[in-house]
Amino acid sequence: MNFFWVNIGKSHKEAIEGHFLWAPLHSEKPKASGGVRTTYFSHWNSVATVRAGDIIFCNVDRKIAYIAVAKLNAYEAAPPTTRIFNEWDPNGRRVDVDFFELEPPISIEGYILDSFKERYNERCTPRVVTKTGSIFQGYMASLPMDAGIDLLRLAGDQEEAIATTSLNLSAPMVTPKRVSSSTTKQALREARIGQGRFRRDLLNFWQRCPITGITNPDLLIASHAKPWAISSDEEKLDPYNGFLFAVHIDRLFDKGLISFNQDGKILISKHLSERDARVLNIHREITLPIQQNHKKYLEAHRNIFGLSE
C-alpha cells in the first residue's frame, strides 16, 4: 500500500462519475523553428507508479473531498471522451478507482497544512506545498507512508472501509480469503479505536503505562505500533502489536514523535522540540520493557516514521 495526493479541480465531476483518474503521458508543443517539443512532468509520471490497493487523497478547492482506492495498476489509455479532457494529449495513463466521499470534506487550511509542510513535504514527489504555502499546481504527488497514515486517520468512520478495501486489493491471495466471523469483525472495528478485546489484552499484559507508571484505566490508551490501517487482521488484534500508554505518550507514539529501538530504548524525533520533551518528561534514559514478539512491530513503526539511532 502506497499513498498519493491528487488535485482534481475542474475534472472532479467527470472523475467521480467515471470512477477513474487520468493524466497525459507528456505535453507536446510546436517549436518556433519547426518540429515538436515533448515535455515530461513528474506530477504526471507519478500516475504510472500507482498500484492496486494504493490510497489517493483527492484535493478539490483546498479540501480533501474524496479518498480513492486504486482497483487496478495504472495503465496506458486514451483520455476519457468527456469535454473536460479534450484539450489534453491523446496518450495518457488511467487508474480505475473506488471513491469514498468525505462528509464534510476535510479543509487543509491552518494546522493540517502547516503540519504537513513541516513534517512531510520534503519527502513528497513532487512537493505538495509550495514555498508560498499554496498547493502545487500539478496533478499527482507520491506521499511518504507516515503522511498517508496521518491523513487517513482524518477520514474518521470511513477509515475502516478505505483501509479494508485497500488491503483486499493490494494483496491478492493464492488461497481464498477466510471470511471473518461477525465477532471477529466487531473486534477489528473496536481495535481501530483502542477498545474491545485488543484493549483488554493490553490491560492484562501491561496493567500500567510502562513509561509513566499510570494505572488508572481511564487515563490509558491502547496504541498500535504498526498502524491499524496497514496491519493484517491478525496484526490488528495481536497484543504484541500494541502498548498501553498514558494519553500524552500515546499521542507522541501515534504521531511518530517517539519510537523505541530493538532494545526498547527511546528514540526521539527531531520534530519534538527540546522544550516540549522537557515539559512532557521525555528523555533519552527511557527504556520500554519489550519482548521478542514486540520487535517486528516496533521495527515497522520506526521504518514508517523514519526514526533510527
Q: Read off the pLDDT of residues 189-232 as tens digits, 9 standing for 90 and up.
A: 655 555 678 999 999 999 999 999 999 999 999 999 999 888 88
**pLDDT for residue 274:** 96
Q: Report the amino acid identity of residue 40.
A: Y
Query: Would you call 5 helix, strand, or coil by DSSP?
Result: strand
Query: Whole-angstrom Cα distance, residue 297 to residue 262?
Result: 10
Could you tell me if 126 and 43 are in contact, meaning their C-beta atoms sit under 8 angstroms apart? yes
Q: Report the amino acid identity of residue 27.
A: S
Give Dmax over CA atoms of the chain in angstroms: 77
Phi, psi for residue 184 in degrees, rounded to 5:
-65, -40
Looking at every residue in the chain, the average pLDDT score rounds to 88
Q: Which residues pair with 6 in a beta bridge?
A: 58, 140
70 sits in which H/E element: strand 63-70
DSSP code at position 78 = P
Name the pLDDT band for 66 (thresholds 50, 70, 90).
very high
**pLDDT for residue 190:** 59
Query: What pTM value is reported for the model?
Result: 0.82
- DSSP letter string, 258-297: EEE-TT-BEEE-TTS-HHHHHHTT--TT-B----GGGHHH
**pLDDT for residue 172:** 55
* 140 pLDDT more than 50: yes
Can you give the length of the chain in residues?
A: 309
Q: How far is CA 13 from CA 17, 43, 106, 162, in A?
A: 6, 21, 18, 21
Query: Could you report how far apart the first and last alpha carbons of the chain are, in Å?
Result: 26
- In this predicted model, what pLDDT tens digit does every residue of 110-135 receive, in sequence order? 878 888 999 999 999 999 999 988 89
Query: Whole-angstrom Cα distance, residue 248 to residue 280?
Result: 8
- In this predicted model, what pLDDT tens digit does every residue of 84-119 receive, in sequence order? 666 666 789 999 999 999 999 999 888 788 889 999
Q: Which residues contact 55 (CB under 8 A, 6 or more apart)?
A: 1, 2, 3, 4, 67, 68, 69, 70, 148, 152, 162, 166
* pLDDT cut 90: percent of the chain above it: 62
Q: Which residues pair with 129 in a beta bridge?
A: 135
Q: Which of 31-35, 68-72, 146-150 has the lowest mean pLDDT?
A: 31-35
* 188 pLDDT more than 60: no
**pLDDT for residue 193:** 53
Could you tell me if 15 and 8 are in contact, meaning their C-beta atoms sit under 8 angstroms apart? yes
- In this predicted model, what pLDDT tens digit does every residue of 169-178 receive, in sequence order? 886 543 444 4
Q: Which of 154-158, 177-181, 249-253 has the lowest mean pLDDT?
A: 177-181
CA 297 to chain centre: 17
Name the pLDDT band for 81 (thresholds 50, 70, 90).
confident
Query: Whole-angstrom Cα distance, residue 247 to residue 262?
Result: 23
**pLDDT for residue 173:** 42
**pLDDT for residue 9:** 81
Mean pLDDT of 45-65: 95
Query: Whole-angstrom Cα distance, residue 214 to residue 210?
Result: 8
